[in-house]
Copies of this chain bind each other. A is one copy, B any other.
Amino acid sequence: MRATIRDVAKAAGVSTATVSRVLNKPDMVDPETMERVRAAMERMAYQPSAIARGLSAKRSDTLGLIVPGITDFFFNELYKGIDRASQQNGMKVLLYDSEHSRERALDGFSILGGYQVSGIIFTSKLVTEDYDPILQRVGIPVVLTLTQSEARTPLPSFRIDEVRAMFDVVAYLVTRGHQRIGMIAGRQWDDKTGELRLEGYRKGLRHFGIEYNEELVEYGQYRFDDGYQAMQRLLEKQPNFHMTALCTASDEMALGAIRCLNDNGLHVPEDISVVGFDDLPLARMITPRLTTVAQPFAEIGEAAVSWLVRAVGREPSPSEIGDYLLPHRLVERESVRALGS
């Protein structure tokens, strides 16, 4: 049986209150007593029960993280930031995978609530009005990362300016002499990101006086296979291939597209330029190294945690609840070719 606070107290000849104090309010206890207690703890390998503490103090020093899928490639980087920041604030993270299901996502709030988490980070899926009841109910701060909210309950969100980012991609491509620019956009029932990025693409074209052409656009749900299939459709739609560059809504889809191109005897960037989105670690590992938009995942995670930590225990002012757009960055690598003049 593990040692409890009572055992330590007895061993050190003090009350449990004092032991609790050396842990939580060290400056309230006499240095000498402190020493004795510390020694006792050491001796008995005392580890306070986070559970009991949580129950008593009504806070668990734990943050809940809801992600749609653990296997989404961006997860690791995001988590790294969250973990790092949590660590610094003495918090633990409880992970919940909603498996891309809206119901499970909703459940997540309750379940994490049951663990007395001090705050919840919700990731990647669009928050719609049907989240409102839960959101009202949880009673703890919630922040959004890599997504935003359409619900009534105001929620802060940490992400990049998607429209701007994709606009930048188009601009980059145009500057390199491309005119026939296609796109594999994101499409998912519960995700606004796809729309936004597509909007950025259209905006970019418009800005440079290029006509939007449906023929050059296909959709997928961000994963590799979606990218592959979308590329396939693109290839079929235009037998006499004349697209010179392709934007994608995710690195994974970019990879899929490239694979598909390769399978059809086309090469990147010689025959067609491809730009990814995310800057996953693997973007620099493949051949050709992928030119892509870097999302500051780790920073987003850290920012979300900081916000949460600041918000816990008090009503955040309206001015704090807004959209925090972190800077993205276009990372030039090898998958785009400048068209000779």
- Residues of A near any B CB (own CB < 8 A): 1-2, 45, 47-52, 54-55, 60, 70-71, 75-77, 79-80, 83, 92-95, 97, 110-111, 113-116, 137, 139, 224, 252, 255-256, 258-259, 262, 281-282, 285-287
Contacts and interface: CB of A to CB of B under 8 A. Distances in A.
Nearest to A258: B287
Nearest to A56: B55
14 contacts: A45-B110, A45-B137, A49-B55, A50-B116, A51-B54, A52-B55, A71-B77, A71-B80, A71-B281, A92-B94, A224-B281, A255-B285, A259-B285, A286-B287
B47 A114 contact: yes
Given A50-B115, A95-B95, A116-B51, A76 B71 contact: yes
A51 B115 contact: yes
A78 to B, nearest CB: 10
Contacts of A51: 51, 54-55, 60, 114-116
Contacts of A262: 287
Nearest to A114: B50
Given A76-B75, A259-B287, A286-B255, A113 B55 contact: no
The 9 closest A-B pairs by CB, nearest first: A50-B114, A51-B54, A71-B76, A255-B285, A47-B110, A262-B287, A50-B115, A47-B114, A51-B55
A155 to B, nearest CB: 19
Given A2-B113, A70-B80, A285 B224 contact: yes
Contacts of A224: 281, 285
A282 B124 CA distance: 22
Contacts of A115: 50-51, 92
A76 B285 CA distance: 18
A137 B3 CA distance: 10
A238 B36 CA distance: 64
A49 B117 CA distance: 11
A114 B83 CA distance: 18
A94 B94 CA distance: 6
A36 to B, nearest CB: 21
Nearest to A51: B54
A75 B70 CA distance: 9
Contacts of A50: 111, 114-116
- Most chain B CB within 10 A, of A51, A52, A95, A110, is at A51
